[in-house]
Amino acid sequence: MSKALLYDSTMCIGCKQCEAACAEQNKLPYTDAIAAEEKQSEHKFTAILTRGDKFMRRLCMNCQEPACASVCPVGALQKTSLGPVTYDADKCMGCRYCMVACPFGVPKYEWNKLAPKVRKCTMCPDRVASGKPTACAEICPTGATKFGERDDLINEAQQRIRDNPGKYVPHIYGLTEAGGTSVLLLSSVPFEDFGYKTPDYALPMLTYRILSRIPDFVPLWGLALGGVWWITHRREEVAASEGQKTPANGHNGRKQ
């Protein structure tokens, strides 16, 4: 069964231990300055957002049908059966299609490195595969972030909403958004307040409709580029041939 994370913002105290644990797990720097950043970046995979006395987490949603993986031409991004969307830097060619496709704006690029990678939360795939919870869920002191089977977490989230009328927005974010995600959110304020807006349908179908048309254009572009190459190459051959016919002294061989 697919694993998932349930984040209940009403239980979050903003301690940011999840940020620190994520940084340690992924060998990222974590300083006071980075802790103060309320945004995801190539060096910060998860962030706690603050609005007054309300908190919210931002991290890769590890979608059930990830748009990032659907557009990756080399298979560097893969959805696993356990839930995480993994990234293989050795396969990545740096096209950054995933950055454009992601509806949550999650993948970030290491612009300042000589050998840049795409960076994002991958839901601790090694830990999950060995039966452990994600680093962020394990360290959470209040249980605001919980790890488990996705179906079980959905049932638990629904029960919390039923048992506490008026405490929560009556919706589990990630249940249907982008076709469903492996990160589920509960909140007492509208999710839009923290920038969460996404279609309910799976996005790979949209990318498929676009990418499926590419083969129609490739032969045409191939012919066009081939023609340009032939013309350019032919001009160089003619120029070289004319140059060989001209004597070294610059005369054309006719009597003056």
pLDDT the model gives residue 133: 98
Mean pLDDT of the 246-251 span: 48
Quick one: pLDDT band at residue 1, thresholds 50, 70, 90? Answer: confident
At position 235, the amino acid (one-letter code) is: R
- Residue 246 — pLDDT band, cuts 50, 70, 90? very low
pLDDT at 210 over 60: no
Q: What is the pLDDT of residue 19?
A: 98
Q: Which pLDDT does position 67 carry in this prediction? A: 95
For residues 31 and 23, give the distance between their C-alpha atoms in angstroms, rounded to a whole number. 10
**Alpha helices (runs of H) in the chain, residue ranges in sequence order:** 17-25, 32-35, 67-71, 97-101, 125-129, 135-139, 150-163, 204-211, 214-245
Q: Residue 254 pLDDT more than 50? A: no
Which residues are within 8 A (CB) of 137 and not within 5 positions of it... i.e. 6 or more apart?
A: 5, 18, 145, 146, 147
CA–CA separation, 46 and 16 (whole Å): 9
Q: State residue 226's pLDDT score.
A: 54
- 150, with CB counted inside 10 A (0-12, 13-18, 19+), is buried
Q: Is 51 helix (H, G, I), strand (E, B) or coil?
A: strand
For 120-140, the pLDDT digits (tens) are: 999 999 999 999 999 999 999
**Amino acid of residue 132:** K
SS3 (DSSP) at 224: helix
Task: Express each pLDDT in 138-175 by its tens digit.
Answer: 999 999 999 999 999 999 999 999 999 899 999 999 99
Q: Which residue has the higher pLDDT, 38 or 212?
A: 38
Q: Identify the three-state secondary structure at position 202.
A: coil
% helix / strand / coil in the chain, to the nearest 5?
A: 40, 15, 45
Instruction: Return phi, psi of residue 52, to 5°.
Output: 70, -120
Element (H, E) at 49: strand 47-51
Q: Please, what is the end-to-end C-alpha distance for the chain in angstroms? A: 92
For 56, phi and psi rounded to 5 degrees?
-155, 145
Query: Tokens representing 243?
Result: 């140059």
Q: Looking at residue 253, what is its pLDDT? A: 44
54 contacts 171 by C-beta, under 8 angstroms? no
